[in-house]
Structure 1
């Protein structure tokens, strides 16, 4: 469906083959590479058209491939809304985003959060001693913005909470920062029905929905994260013209690889960067699919 929405002939043989390849990945029907180790599960061979094995998979090469001519187009909302780098882990996302933001002109503004701990079984004095502010600030938890959120005018961010669905301010909305003020930022929506609308994003109290700590972390911060690069799971629902899929480590959950390769509207918009255990570019990776998920589905 996403391929047919692209600005290409939906009846072309190339698009049909690409769409079928994506479906086979989702169903776990892509055969393993020849001469592969039978003890290694879920390995697949990526078509050579999507991988450049002659080029090292550095962050700079990925940026130049996914965001060509970034110095001239780095503040264009249309240009930025069409492309992103996808990767499985938040750690890699943070590294890539920091490199790209440094490429923007202007000074960055650092917004610090106010962190506190709640719902602890002991006394208040024990709470302050056991969980000092420095420790709370150091926690980087999925679903929460960073304690030190470094933003810059022209940077692309993603909203991490539903603020106002009527105005299009939903979890996953991509925006570009137009003003960095003292206590808030002004952002312009760059995708969807409400593209072009501007909103002020303020600090708000946020807590993770699923956390294994013995207390409730409350972080007062703007619900934003940089999104030149984003984790694969966060890209669900996005349709992009250009994607750089960066896999320094293989995907690790069911359907994750399928979600990544199915974000593009044409095969020409997909480039995959895979490293083996020796950090050398390869075109072999894992596709995790638990086929028992499909056993109870009705058959047409």
Structure 2
């Protein structure tokens, strides 16, 4: 770019226009075991480049559907404002409890229209609410592509998905990974004695498929790697399993521009992008994970008609509650299942917002 204009050598990126898109109400950069200050410091607003950025604001919620009547329009406007207030950390705290206890700093009161206190928050209750008539529609791509259960942790997601897959008709097929450890400082004998194969198989690393992947025909899965962007096989693509073969599975894309296309997903060698292990874990497995339930972090970018938000424990970082409730296209599609410390259903939970991240933004 210096050959085009010598003055461009003084500008960042050679004077080329760079577009950065994002919402600071959503989840911030993930810092492993990072404190609040470290997470905020990793944001672009703390970069020296931020002072030369020109900021454009988007003001219309494109995810929420247009209302068909004046009452429905007002309801959607009210819901959109509630979602934005959650992202800004402006939701009102619950009233003082009568037993003399004190609520935590970030706790909020969820409107009762999104909760159900008639019975305990069981998995069957959540499945029936999010996936009504599940058995009759378990092979319908359009039905499956617009529904999901969201929850904060991978452990809860894994448990929910196993229970839901067991409800499907048909026999499950287990695909086992081939695990190995590389880049270990000791000898091969030290490696085998220190990290036996059974230990490597037991590891559950975020962002990688499990050692035993149980699948059935009709199971909804999500791709965990970019395989071929020209065919729509990107990280986060939702698909339905159509065939379970010996060394691979055939899947049909159920969302996005390439909906209806079918692809074979083989085993491949996968390595965690960020791991605290003292060696490099190599897992040869299909890059798939079952996604009837998914983590709130993984749900970023998804648009769904029915969302069941399951909070056995409150969210733990900035923007998680906002991301979860902003996935839906209408307030009728949102159901929130919150458990108190005693395991009883409640409508009081945390909404963690780091308000200092908004200081450098014009709409604050």
**Under TM normalisation by the shorter chain, which class is it?**
over 0.9
d(CA) in 2 for partners of 1:122 and 1:295? Answer: 49
d(CA) in 2 for partners of 1:83 and 1:283? Answer: 22
Match status 1:287 vs 2:351: yes
Match status 1:15 vs 2:79: no
Out of 208, 218, 223, the residue aligned to residue 282 of structure 2 is: 218
Out of 322, 327, 340, the residue aligned to residue 276 of structure 1 is: 340
The structure richer in strand per residue is 1
What is the deviation of 1:2?
Answer: 5.0
Compare CA radii of gyration and give the structure with the larger one.
Answer: 2
Match status 1:70 vs 2:129: no
- Equivalenced residue count is 300
Are the aligned partners of 1:67 and 1:83 in contact in 2 as well (CA < 8 Å)? yes
Match status 1:82 vs 2:142: no
Q: Which moved more, 1:37-46 or 1:171-180?
A: 37-46
* Unaligned ranges ≥5, structure 1: none
Helix, strand or coil for the counterpart of 1:233? coil
Out of 254, 274, 279, the residue aligned to residue 190 of structure 1 is: 254
Structure possessing the higher relative contact order (Cα contacts under 8 Å, 6 or more residues apart): 1
What is the deviation of 1:38?
Answer: 5.3
Helix, strand or coil for the counterpart of 1:120? coil
Are the aligned partners of 1:10 and 1:16 in contact in 2 as well (CA < 8 Å)? no
Out of 205, 213, 238, the residue aligned to residue 141 of structure 1 is: 205
Post-superposition CA distance 1:101-130 (Å, at most 9, x none): 111111000000000001111111111111
Q: What is the match of residue 28 of structure 1?
A: 89
Are the aligned partners of 1:233 and 1:256 in contact in 2 as well (CA < 8 Å)? yes
Q: What is the match of residue 185 of structure 2?
A: 121
Helix, strand or coil for the counterpart of 1:235? coil
Helix, strand or coil for the counterpart of 2:297? helix
What is the deviation of 1:6?
Answer: 2.5
* Unaligned ranges ≥5, structure 2: 1-59
Are the aligned partners of 1:2 and 1:264 in contact in 2 as well (CA < 8 Å)? no
d(CA) in 1 for partners of 2:90 and 2:69? Answer: 23
Structure 1 residue ranges (4+ consecutive) displaced by more than 2 angstroms after TM superposition:
1-11, 36-39
d(CA) in 1 for partners of 2:103 and 2:91? Answer: 17
Q: What is the match of residue 32 of structure 2?
A: none
Q: 1:10 to 1:132 in 2, by over 3 A?
A: farther
Are the aligned partners of 1:184 and 1:202 in contact in 2 as well (CA < 8 Å)? yes
d(CA) in 2 for partners of 1:239 and 1:124? Answer: 48
d(CA) in 2 for partners of 1:106 and 1:4? Answer: 36
Q: What is the match of residue 250 of structure 1?
A: 314
Q: CA RMSD in A?
A: 1.4
d(CA) in 2 for partners of 1:7 and 1:158? Answer: 29
What is the deviation of 1:299?
Answer: 3.8
What is the deviation of 1:224?
Answer: 0.2
What is the deviation of 1:5?
Answer: 4.7
Match status 1:156 vs 2:217: no
Helix, strand or coil for the counterpart of 2:327? coil
Q: What is the match of residue 108 of structure 2?
A: 44
Match status 1:6 vs 2:65: yes
d(CA) in 1 for partners of 2:129 and 2:103? Answer: 34
d(CA) in 1 for partners of 2:351 and 2:145? Answer: 27
Are the aligned partners of 1:2 and 1:262 in contact in 2 as well (CA < 8 Å)? no
Q: Which moved more, 1:160-169 or 1:28-37?
A: 28-37
